[in-house]
Amino acid sequence: MDRPVMLDCRGVWKLYGPNAETFLARHGAPTAETLRAAHLVGAVRAADVTIRKGEIFVIMGLSGSGKSTLVRCLSRLIEPSGGEVRFEGRDLLQMGEAELIDLRRKRMGMVFQHFALLPHLTVLQNAAFPLEVQGIDRKTREDRARAVIELVGLQGREGHYPRQLSGGQQQRVGIARSLIVEPDLWFLDEPFSALDPLIRREMQDELLRLQARLQKTIVFITHDFDEAIRLADRIAVMKDGAIVQTATPEELVLNPADAYVAEFTQHVARAKVVRLATIMAPLGAGPFAGDLPGQARVGDVADAVERADLPHRVLDEAGQPVGQVARQAVVDVLIGREVPR
């Protein structure tokens, strides 16, 4: 069964330029040529996004593709020029300022590329700051701050100042600060892009660990496809303000919608994204070397399958056998042979 929808947007536009506020009312859904002729920039063009509860939804694209503008429209940090944005069925664009601020403070968390920590506050004080803004008493907010600091692995550094922390540690404080309000919807806009590769990988691990424990609904922005496929349940690829394709990482790699998406995915090792359920054969009588989950990616189980003389049973999410996978099917993926659609 599909998970319930948390955030849904339909036909969202964001235009910049002369008379941008009234242009859509006069022209409906303009083409790129119409926008250029009117000296307008379509930062977001007719975007449709459905984000389900508990998923990591990645929006990716090159610089200037519109991904950060779109996420700011989804959270209404900037006003869309047109379209509809609904949070759990409620129209964000019709909310008054006070209601919207309350929603952001209590239901949404945000982490950006630049840590934006307050330099004169300690780790504990930075983490507790959103609750201070809400008027929560000191003991309550500091108790909750200590809990989220421990959650992100910074216990023992509560009294440190930002200047005394590494880049990765500063980003963990930013994550702790956004989690302290216990958000239902978590926006992360290229949060790791300023970090060194090793620290970046560590922070991706941290995010996956937190998600396994907290099961947040996450909208994650990146321009790095390797990062996207590692984190995402689904990915929306943007180009020139428009969403070109929305799919699982596996679907993007195996069935790119156009040449632009294919270029993004051409250097991705198929074993990173192809699942056993995709390459399994019909279940035989056995014997079998063991059982493996159908959602497992080939690269994660290749060694076990290759070492075995017998095939492995493939199990669905309920733990029921639905097929089998043998050594040759895994080898075909590893060496780049065509994967069955």
315 and 194 in a common domain: no
Q: Compute the CA torsion angle 153, 210, 68, 171 (nearest 10 deg).
A: 0
Structural domain that includes position 140: 96-232
Indicate whether 224 belongs to any domain: yes
Q: Are 85 and 50 in contact (CB under 8 A)?
A: no
Indicate whether 164 belongs to any domain: yes
216 and 101 in a common domain: yes
189 and 121 in a common domain: yes
Indicate whether 41 belongs to any domain: no
Instruction: Give the H/E segment covering residue 140.
Output: helix 138-151
Indicate whether 277 belongs to any domain: yes
130 and 180 in a common domain: yes
Residue 201's domain is classified under what CATH number? 3.40.50.300
108 and 220 in a common domain: yes
End-to-end CA distance of the chain: 23
Task: Please report, in tens digits, the pLDDT of each residue of the chain (341 residues total).
Answer: 478 999 999 999 999 999 888 899 888 888 888 999 999 999 999 999 999 999 999 999 988 899 999 999 999 999 999 999 999 999 999 999 999 988 988 899 888 877 688 999 999 999 999 899 888 999 999 999 999 999 888 999 999 999 999 888 898 898 899 889 888 999 999 888 877 888 888 889 988 988 998 899 999 999 888 899 999 999 999 999 999 999 999 999 999 999 999 988 888 888 989 999 999 999 999 899 999 999 999 999 999 999 999 999 999 999 999 999 999 999 999 887 776 65
158 and 109 in a common domain: yes
How many domains in the chain?
A: 2
Indicate whether 319 belongs to any domain: yes
Indicate whether 160 belongs to any domain: yes
DSSP 18: T
Residue 321's domain is classified under what CATH number? 3.10.580.10
289 and 161 in a common domain: no
Indicate whether 289 belongs to any domain: yes
